[in-house]
Structure 1
Amino acid sequence: MVEGRESRRVESGPVRAPHVSYRMDDATSLLAEPGTLAVFGFDDRAAGSADPRLLRVPLETFDTSAPCELWQVDGPVEHGRDGALRWSIGGGWLFAALELDERAHGGPAGAARVAYAQLRDFIRGHEQQQVLRIWNYQGAINRGEGDAERYKLFCDGRAEGCGDWFAAGYPAATAIGHHGDPHLLQVYLLASARTGTAVENPRQTSAWRYPRQYGRTSPGFARAMRLPAEDALAISGTAAVVGHASAHEGDTVAQLDEILLNLEALLASAGMPAGFDTHAPLKAYIRHPIDAPRVRAKLQQRLPGVPVLLLHGDVCRSELLVELDGWRYA
């Protein structure tokens, strides 16, 4: 393991962070707006378009009408496909995504290995080679026992597919279980020509230093990433983990309170002011639908005015009931 992963230095001339927002407009209209790098849909509005910038995320929302998530950059955007891989480039940023059927690759480990190897090889052919943020959505993430748990197999395959890709430091990341096609693995990323600054949380053990009890291969991600212009923080999936241990088993509200403590510690570690505002879009991944009203009420109380998208998703440890990720702008 390479030491000093917490430090990624900012190079000269960084470009402004993508603007991430939740919008109720239809996907076609959002794709037509200037600077649209990617659009993510959480319902049928993301179906039927051939535009590679439009991706349907296989996570159901707990809202009657789900917004789209919009990424916009400064400048024109090019886009295309490279086999199964979809991409767009503009304003100094690159979006790339892959969706694989695990059955075609021998299971969770094989699919993760192929996905990461393909993304790695694609990125290395472009100027935007600094991967700053990755999202992973896997079906039935907690199925299986011990080292045969599907998430642990995913971690094994991801490490094999990466090789030395992140030897200089891990990106921020999320890994969540979806309730769509159980064989679907979806991976997408955001990359830049400039490096960011990886941020760790003093309340939590760095993920790559987790002990053996969490699998043969430690998860490879930073707790957050300060983007190159230091104008935004990309926050990894954050759960009720203190040190390396899960906290408050069976208590969703207590876990959410612990998450909010972790987020405040992460902001402090990044040198950002405390709190979130109306320009800080967050996602809450909730394991049990019955918990959604309580999570919504708690977040409205603790984070008034903050846009939060509530999604039905499973955290990578079966005892964890809720997780948050998102963006915080300077």
Structure 2
Amino acid sequence: MPSLPVTSTLRFDYEHSDAEALLRRDDALLAVFGFGAACPLPPDARVLRVGLEPIGAAPLEVWRTSGPVHHGHDGDLRWSSGGEHLFFAIEVEEAAHGGIEAAAEYAYQRVARFVSASTQHHLLRLWNYLDAINAGGGDAERYRLFCRGRARSLAASGLRHYPAASAIGRQDGVRVLQVYGLAARHPGTAVENPRQVSAWRYPRQYGPTPPTFARGMRVGARQLLISGTAAVVGHASCHPGDAGAQLDETLANLHSLLREAGLAEPTLGRGSLLKIYLRDAALATLVEARLRERIANAPPMLMLAGDICRRELLLEIDGEHRADGAATESAALQNR
């Protein structure tokens, strides 16, 4: 693995706070995310309402960088930029483009064009939320169509290394594709999981165009951005219908990824921040209890109702992990 800078100025936090007050007082605020239809959010380019409903009381997700931060709009794309980092987001109505495949192609054309023109032009991480991700049969499944549209634009952009990513199904019936992400002035280092086949090498049975993402992205010497991770070993889904066993397999994959990244603290815990997507909100009690049982010093967690890209999978986890004093540094920034 190449040598890396010692630190990263990027911080992720979950905060039970007022978004408007945060925006007023914090000049290092890169982005604020609210979840679900009921979350009160002010109109601001740094603020995005994510189309997934929270399970229980949901905090805001807050990104901070080394300020000051500038922000604005570029047509239908919103952005904010500060220090090393660039946040961007686009929301695309599928009907305006003839369906999810063309909507994905358009969204990624816009993202690729905008990011490549920025001084922070290295893609690190992407999130994708689309309605009814499993609808349709065979190669007509909406997730497979999304993958086709995304891959065409990424190939046309000349992207040489895939970023970390998640793709989750909205359950609100709103056919708007949300794509948002993070880019930086310096590249990260893509990390693959030795327990899993790299997504872009999946065999044909998973569709004509394999998913185009890395399992994780190492940023600096001690930060890992974790892609959506589920109970997949090799390329096969494991434990259909058993949420507890799927969770255990997912945790095995996460710890394998952390070890492969070479972090000083390769175990989920105080330096982690996790987002848990559940196909059925009724699984929340079981999943939370098992997570707290399996992870010493359980990290902050946000649970969201969302469909997973394979019908047989019941849950997926993504997030961030920092080694060496992450919790202390994050709290200091949050409370300054």
TM-score, normalised relative to structure 2: 0.92
Shift of 1:165: 3.2
Matches of 1:244 and 1:29 in 2, distance apart? 45
Q: Which residue of structure 2 lines up, in the alignment, with residue 207 of structure 1?
A: 199
| Residue matched to 2:229 | 238
34, 37, 54: which one aligns with 2:30: 37
Q: Indicate if the aligned counterparts of 1:52 and 1:88 stay in contact, CA closer than 8 A.
A: yes
Q: Which residue of 1 aligns with 2:330?
A: none
Residue 74 in structure 1 maps to residue 66 in structure 2? yes
1:142-188 residue CA offsets vs partner (Å, 9 max, x unmatched): 00000000000000000112224364210000000011243110000
Detail structure 1 runs of 4+ shifted over 4 Å in the superposition: 44-48
Identity of counterpart residues, as a percentage? 50
2:269 — aligned with what? 277
Cα deviation for residue 230 of structure 1 reads 2.0
Q: Secondary structure at the match of 2:251?
A: helix
Picking from 181, 186, 202, the partner of 2:178 is 186
CA distance in 1: counterparts of 2:283 and 2:175, whole angstroms: 26
Deviations for 1:5-61, whole angstroms, at most 9, x for unmatched residues? Answer: xx7x567x6862411000000111222213000000014565552211000011111
Q: Does 1:264 align with 2:264?
A: no
Q: Helix, strand or coil: the match of 2:160?
A: coil
Give the superposition deviation at 1:196: 0.8
Mapped partners of 2:168, 2:117: distance in 1: 28
2:14 aligned partner, one-letter code = Y
C-alpha displacement of 1:231: 2.6
Q: 1:84 — aligned with what? A: 76
Tell me, what secondary structure is at the counterpart of 1:318? coil
1:313 corresponds in structure 2 to: 306
Following the alignment from structure 1 to structure 2, what is the Cα–Cα distance between the partners of residues 84 and 15? 33
Amino acid aligned to 2:288: R
Q: Residues 1-330 of structure 1: matches in 2 within 5 Å? A: 9=2, 16-32=8-24, 33-44=26-37, 46-47=39-40, 49-63=42-56, 65-165=57-157, 167-227=159-219, 229-272=220-263, 273-303=265-295, 304-330=297-323
Structure 1, unmatched stretches of 5+, are: 1-6
Secondary structure of the structure 2 residue equivalent to 1:281: strand
Task: Give the letter aligned to residue 91 of structure 1.
Answer: G
| Aligned partner letter, 1:231 | R
Cα pair distance change 1:14/1:114, threshold 3 Å: farther
1:47–1:56 Cα contact (<8 Å) kept: no
Residue 62 of structure 1 deviates from its aligned partner by 1.0
Stretch moving more, 82-91 or 275-284 = 275-284
Instruction: Give the match's secondary structure for 1:319.
Output: coil
Provide the alpha-carbon RMSD of the alignment: 1.6
Partners of 1:172 and 1:196 in 2: CA distance: 10
Alpha carbons 1:248, 1:254 under 8 Å: kept: yes
Q: Distance in 1 between matches of 2:272 and 2:223?
A: 9
How far did residue 283 of structure 1 move?
A: 0.5
CA contact (8 A) 2:240 2:312 kept: yes
Structure 2 SS opposite 1:278 = coil
Aligned counterparts of 2:49 and 2:149: Cα–Cα separation in 1: 24
Give the secondary structure class of the aligned counterpart of 2:268: coil
Partners of 1:46 and 1:128 lie apart in 2 by 30
Q: 1-side partners of 2:158 and 2:193: how far apart?
A: 19
- Kept after mapping to 2: 8 A contact 1:30/1:70: no
AA paired with 1:39? V
Write the distance in 2 (CA, Å) between the matches of 1:305 and 1:260.
13
Q: SS where residue 39 of structure 1 aligns?
A: strand
- Per the TM alignment, residue 125 of structure 1 is displaced from its structure 2 partner at its CA by 1.2
Which consecutive residues of structure 2, in runs of 5 or more, have no partner in the other structure? 324-336
Matched-pair contact (CA < 8 Å) for 1:10–1:196: no
Mapped partners of 1:181, 1:80: distance in 2? 29
Aligned residues: 320
C-alpha contact 1:40 1:46 (8 A) present in aligned 2: no
